[in-house]
């Protein structure tokens, strides 16, 4: 199972993103199950809209909420959210977003060691291999 981050979703759906071609090629070749969280979807849709990609945000949202999702979506529990808050407070030397912290918590709890991400923060998590 591979965790998919906001940076990968964004690169996949925005052709002008510098990582688009690499992301699309990797996704085409990947045979493992994709996994993401509700927080990552929230962050991705918000980022798309903020970057004036409203139409792409709607298309991606429809795929997840109305069609066949591109990945298994994990909805964070209250305990995971509170643990993410602890991580957010603890690592003051990092520029991790709260969503990054929630991703770290979920990946550790579910022992997911790979992330499809272009965000350098995932390399700071420790035992996480980023692909491509």
Q: What is the pTM of this model?
A: 0.94
Q: What is the average per-residue pLDDT within 78-84?
A: 98
Strand partners of residue 115: 3, 130
The CATH superfamily label for domain 2-131 reads 5'-nuclease (3.40.50.1010)
Scan for tokens 């770290």, then name that residue.
104
SS3 121: helix
Q: Residue 100: which residues within 8 A CB-CB, separation 6 or more?
A: 119, 121, 122
Q: What is the pLDDT of residues 36-77, one digit of tens each?
A: 999 999 999 999 999 999 999 999 999 999 988 899 999 999
Which carries the bigger pLDDT value, residue 126 or residue 21?
21
- Answer whether 99's CB lies under 8 Å from 41's CB: no
The tokens of 7 are what? Answer: 């940076």
């Amino acid at each position: 199972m591979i965790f998919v981050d906001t940076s990968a979703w964004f690169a996949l759906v925005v052709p002008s993103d510098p990582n688009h071609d690499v992301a699309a090629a990797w996704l085409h070749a990947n045979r493992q199950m994709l996994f993401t969280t509700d927080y990552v979807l929230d962050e991705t849709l918000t980022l798309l809209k903020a970057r004036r990609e409203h139409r792409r945000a709607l298309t991606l949202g429809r795929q997840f909420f109305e069609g066949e999702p591109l990945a298994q979506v994990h909805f964070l529990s209250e305990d995971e959210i509170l643990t993410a808050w602890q991580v957010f407070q603890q690592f003051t030397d990092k520029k991790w977003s709260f969503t990054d912290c929630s991703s770290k918590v979920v990946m550790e709890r579910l022992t997911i060691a790979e992330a499809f991400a272009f965000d350098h923060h995932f390399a700071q998590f420790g035992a996480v291999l980023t692909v491509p």
